[in-house]
Structure 1
Amino acid sequence: MSLEIIKTKEELRELIDAYAYLGDEKKISEQMSLFTKDAAYKVYMNGALVADTTG
């Protein structure tokens, strides 16, 4: 495995950890800052849309 692949995997692991931590702490605006500007984020619970954020 190349150094570049190892570095990329670590960066992804850190991003996932940050996303999970911020979600657990209910820091949603900070969590959304992890997404790209053109992201679309939708959450469904029991078939109902409960969150819809874009941009």
Structure 2
Amino acid sequence: MRKNSSIGCSVSECKFHSKDENFCTLDKIEVVKHSQKADTVEHTDCGSFKRD
């Protein structure tokens, strides 16, 4: 898959990681939160993640 240079990613275990460089291959990602109010980075995740 072709990298999307607008979405950086260092999670090489993800199905959508570009493998050659630290980028995502998706056109867009979905950012999700874990609580009512996302006050810190720990309250959010990439909802588009799929295990490779």
Tell me which interval the TM-score lies in, with the shorter structure as reference length: under 0.3
TM-score (ref. length: structure 1): 0.25
More relative contact order, 1 or 2 (CA 8 Å, 6+ apart): 2
TM-score (ref. length: structure 2): 0.25
Determine which structure has more spread, i.e. the larger CA radius of gyration.
Answer: 1
User: Which of the pair is proportionally richer in helix?
Assistant: 1
